[in-house]
Structure 1
Amino acid sequence: MRVGILALQHESNTFIRTATTLVDFEHDVLATGDEIYPIFKKSAHEIGGFFAGLAETDLEVVPIFVARALPGGTITAETVDTLIDQMLAALKEAGPLDGLLVAPHGAGVSESERDLDGYWLSLVRDAVGPDLPIICTLDAHANVSQQMIDACNATIVYRTNPHIDQKDRGIEAARLMDRTLKGEVKPTQAACFVPLAINIERQHTSSEPCDSLYYVANKMLETPGVLSNSIILGFPYADVEEMGSGFIVVTDDNPTQARELADELGQTLINRRDEFKAHLIGIEDALDRAEQMEGPVCFLDMGDNIGGGSPADGTTILHAIKARRGPTSFACLYDPEAAQTAITAGPGIHLPELAMGGKTDDLHGEPLVANVTVISVHDGDFTEAEVRHGGKTEFHMGPTAVVQTDFGLTIMLNSHRTPPFSLGQLTSCNIHPGDYQILVAKGVQAPLAAYRPVCPNLIRVNTPGSTSADMEQFDYHYRRKPLFPFEPIN
């Protein structure tokens, strides 16, 4: 029996002005057929899990189409049309199938389709017919729609944030497909869409309040007939009707049980809703605290969260460090112009008043102007051997320069937006984390998998930007109402 693999993955931040285009997918992953396996065979991604799980069975693996781009702005309509045309053509060319493993992100938005993942999943369902099993994996930061649920027989969401279980969820999906095709189970699913949005600052799954919520979900897995359940944390930076949190339960041929249990989980969250509101710490308060802590202290720059689509050139924390003339700190900035200036100058050269960062928009601070010395230049390529958020093993920062300011701040200037998912970003450029009191990581939860082992303390810093943890500052037009914490709910 033949099982196909399909994926179109993008986390779309609709508050970012720069659109996501085909070039962004080509820069990350855009592959068909036999091109797919070499990309994911060693990864900790769910597609790597699909391959690993199917390898345990006698099912034939049919890689069909994978498109993925780094989180960013809304995808252009032209790009989506091109990707979906390629996907459906590859699906047709794959020939007869007995099942499909699919991997949307769950928070895709295009200029033409606000529920992008529901749209393309429905097209795939129409193409293969109503009877072929489709089992789906989702990022926990999905904004799930009923259209997505209706298109698939089962949906399995990552259970960790940072996302270090992606491969496990892919394996789980493949094993469920094997049992389904053998006739051992018949997955049926239901979702509960809670009128609540869990703040991104509260979404660390191994800390409270999320940890005990997952405990309840894990206990439910012991219930006879339950094949899977999932918590949807939600993605607050997409202005769509589906924005918010929820639950999915998959049962063995018992849709009523799935509905009742999903609603039960939903009520649990509603009853505890006040626990999921943000606890925000400003920049000056964070710096005061960091000076009294054992270092390195990881400063999580929540307003410039690259994994949430931000531009990666936010400077607000850096301006505050400059004003204090310390403490010793390290940060990465996306700034190809400044990187090239430093590379052209070369190591050892002093550059007066180099303007760094703050160039993409006016949401993330003004350029940081500083006198710097070029420390080193690099090609920006590095690998990660450990399981880290996102499951990637190979990273490409583009031409990179490390510069030292005259006030204790070291800055890595990258030519490509690179999320802080691996310490290899630092060590590949001869940066030693222990040399600094503060390490600035542009994220909220995702960097913890890499940074927690070297940072005895961390502070989530409330900075302005397109991924601010202060959700109420965003101008939503499409979200549901009432939706907690924006409005009260019963």
Structure 2
Amino acid sequence: MQNKQPKRIGIMGVYHESNTFLEKQTNWEDFQNGHLLYGQSLIEEYRDAYHEIGGMVEVLDKEPDLEIVPLFYAEATPGGTISGEAADRLLMEVKTSLTDAMPLDGLMVVPHGAAVSASYMDFDGHWLKMVRKMLGPNVPIIGTIDPHCNLSDAMVKAVDALIAYKTNPHVDQRNVGIEAGRLMIDTLSGKIQPTMQAVQTKVAISIEMQHTGSSPCKELYQLSSRIGSRRKILSASVVLGFPYADVPEMGTSFIVVADGDEMLARNAVNELNEYIFNNHSKFSGDKIGLDQLPDEIRKAQKPLLLLDMGDNVGGGSPGDSTFLLGMLESLTGQRSFICIYDPEAVKIIKERSSNDPFLTLSIGGKTDQLHGKPVEVSVELISLVEGRFSEKEPRHGGQVNFNMGETAIVKTKSGNTLMLTSLRTVPFSLQQLLHFHIDPFQFDIIVAKGVHAPLAAYQSVCKSIIRANTPGVTRADMINLPYQNRRKPLYPLDDLA
């Protein structure tokens, strides 16, 4: 009697959050400095990580009649639009790895959902559409997306089901990967027939209001959870949207996957759409500007987590804004920590020949004209390090290994500690400090260049939080961003009658 052949399930992803307001493009080198993984290395990187691929592997690995076929995964730190050359290379890698692995019985996909390239405004929709064409209409394609996805019709049409993470900060990625893997298993066994419906709303939730544990998002997610628990509903997702991509899909969307019942899924997304329309005014918060900050800082409990929203590295910003650095240098009696991307300063420190313990540097403000001017400070070197560190706890993004490049840790004469990096680095892990023997409890203020993502790393250390509406390409007041391609009407950029 012939043994039954296991069903082959591929895993692949292209993961980038593209900020179209940046002049500098994201190139192939940026993916090389992030994660470029082929074949088994994909599983080795994420098997035990709090990442959706780890969840997919966990659940699929338990099925004796399934074979996991790891293909290709590319991820770069959020940044500018993907260059045409890098986009072509990514598409070639997707096509080649998929061709070499066929035939497949199913495919797990890991797009971010907010990738934009110079060639394709909806880059995720484009590569998913290409994959669908290669596999044909009958091979199930099921995937996960970041809730900061700008959901397109092309993405929805290309796959059988998409599930967004349910937390921001994103600490549930592994669980969502498990959920997507189970959908694949049940689909292949004939137990379910996923039917997906989605809707683009007339609302773009302001970035500082996207914390899923606080109102108004908390109540929206509670409604989504209740819908997701209904009979024959397989999944319900809130897609918050990414406001820093000037594309027609920019804004908040909803996805519902039902078991073979298109009308049930359609009614459910309409229910979510009606809720956000009726409550839209709650999703644009009050902003704290630079003028208000000194008083707010003095009143805040310490240690304080000060979030630099206009230079949110997780939203693609350059990471070298100096507005807060300049202000903190002028505040007396406050010990602060701030990380700034400045490879030029690192090089000067490394090559210095003077024996003077203090060195005068112009720090930050070198990428563009939008994030402040360089600040001249006198610093004392604490240490020069190779900026690699690892994170093993559930943190936003689910990544395990981080690389800041050559990094200089210095102290200013004002008593502030600066971490100067050669590679832009997202502030998603407390190990960014602890690994290099920096005690977070010694500071009154810790600056993180983000909005919600750093909370998972720093909330255990800090007693209070201030989100600063600093200028920059990730500023919270999206009304001041120069959109050309967005849909209309869209709150808060337009009034909703």
Q: Counterpart of 1:246?
A: 253
Please say if residues 358 and 366 of structure 1, whose CA atoms lie closer than 8 Å, have aligned partners that are also in contact: yes
Counterpart residue number, 2:23: 17
C-alpha distance in 1 between matches for 2:356 and 2:170:
40
> 1:42, CA displacement in angstroms?
2.3
Distance 2:356 2:29 in 1: 34
2:3 maps to what in 1? none
Partner of 2:4: none
Contact 2:114 / 2:150 at 8 angstroms: preserved in 1?
yes
For residue 56 of structure 1, report the CA deviation from its aligned partner.
2.4
Runs (5+) with no aligned partner, structure 1: none
Matched, 1:126 2:133: yes
Structure 1 residue 464 corresponds to structure 2 residue 460: no
The Cα of 1:223 is off from its aligned counterpart by: 1.2
Q: 2:175 matched to which residue of 1? A: 168
Quote the offset at 1:353 in angstroms. Answer: 2.6
Aligned equivalent of 1:207? 214
Counterpart of 1:46 (choices 49, 52, 59) is 52
Contact 1:349 1:374 in 2 (8 A): no
Check the 8 A contact 1:5/1:100 in 2, yes or no.
Answer: yes
CA contact (8 A) 1:6 1:63 kept: yes
Paired letter, 1:28: G
- Partner residue of 2:98? 91
| SS at structure 2 position matched to 1:398 | strand
SS at match of 1:155: strand
TM-fit CA distance, 1:343: 3.0
The total of aligned residue pairs comes to: 490
Looking at structure 1, the residues matched to 444 and 130 of structure 2 have their Cα atoms a distance apart, in angstroms, of: 51
CA shift for structure 1 position 293: 2.5
- Any conservation in 2 of the 1:278–1:469 contact (CA below 8 Å)? no
Query: Within 1, Cα distance between the matches of 2:81 and 2:116?
Result: 6
Deviation at 1:427, TM superposition (A): 1.4
For the 8 Å contact 1:347–1:377, the answer to whether it is kept is no
CA distance in 2, matches of 1:381, 1:67: 19
Describe how 1:8-407 pairs up with structure 2 within 5 A.
Answer: 8-58=14-64, 59-345=66-352, 349-407=356-414
Cα contact 2:49–2:392 (8 A) shared by 1 = no
Q: Counterpart in 2 of 1:455?
A: 462
Question: d(CA) in 2 for partners of 1:173 and 1:234?
Answer: 20
SS at 1:399's partner residue? Answer: strand
Alpha-carbon separation, structure 1, partners of 2:351 and 2:434 = 22
Aligned to 1:432: 439
Q: Write the distance in 2 (CA, Å) between the matches of 1:349 and 1:13.
A: 41
TM-score (norm 2): 0.96
- Please, what is the CA RMSD of the aligned residues? 1.3
Separation in 2 of the partners of 1:347 and 1:411? 20
Q: Which of 414-423 and 351-360 deviates more?
A: 351-360
Q: Distance in 1 between matches of 2:15 and 2:454?
A: 20
Deviation of 1:347 after TM superposition, in Å, equals 12
Report the 3-state secondary structure (helix = DSSP H, G, I; strand = E; otherwise coil) of the residue aligned with 1:66.
Answer: strand
Distance 1:53 1:287, change over 3 A: farther
Paired residue type of 2:11:
I
> Sequence identity, in percent?
47
What is aligned with 1:6? 12
Deviation at 1:408, TM superposition (A): 2.5
**Deviation at 1:29?**
1.5
Tell me the amino acid that sits aligned with residue 328 of structure 1.
Answer: R
The Cα of 1:394 is off from its aligned counterpart by 1.3
Amino acid at match of 1:85: M
- In 1, Cα distance between the equivalents of 2:426 and 2:42? 23
Query: In the aligned structure 2, how far is the partner of 1:296 from the partner of 1:451?
Result: 10
- Which residue number in structure 1 is paired with residue 495 of structure 2? 488
Q: Which runs of 5+ in 2 are unaligned?
A: 1-6
Listed one character per residue, the Cα deviations across residues 402-424 of structure 1 (whole Å, up to 9, x for unaligned) are 11111122111111111110111
Aligned mates of 2:338, 2:362 — CA distance in 1: 15
CA contact (8 A) 2:115 2:123 kept: yes
Work out the CA distance in 1 between the residues paired with 2:300 and 2:492: 32
Q: For 1:369 and 1:221, locate their aligned partners in 2 and report how far apart those are by CA, in whole Å.
A: 54
Q: 1:206 to 1:348 in 2, by over 3 A?
A: farther
Quick one: structure 1 residues 348 and 138, their matched pair in 2 at CA, closer, same or farther if it must change by over 3 Å? farther
Change (3 A) 1:332 1:448: same
Tell me the TM-score normalised to structure 1 length: 0.98
Task: State yes or no: 1:446 paired with 2:453.
Answer: yes
CA contact (8 A) 1:291 1:327 kept: no
The one-letter code of the counterpart of 2:56 is: F
Paired with 1:355 and 1:325, the residues of 2 have a C-alpha distance of 21
Deviations 1:58-111 (A, max 9, x none): 211011111111100000111111111111111010021111100100000000
- Other structure's SS at 2:380 match: strand
Give CA-to-partner distance per residue, 1:321-378, whole Å, 9 cap, x none: 2233452111000101111222334998534431111100011111111111111221
Tell me the SS of whatever aligns to 1:37: helix
Q: Kindly state the Cα deviation for residue 294 of structure 1 after the two structures are TM-superposed.
A: 2.3
Alignment partner of 2:327: what SS? helix
- For residues 201 and 400 of structure 1, the distance between their equivalents in structure 2, rounded to whole angstroms, comes to 30
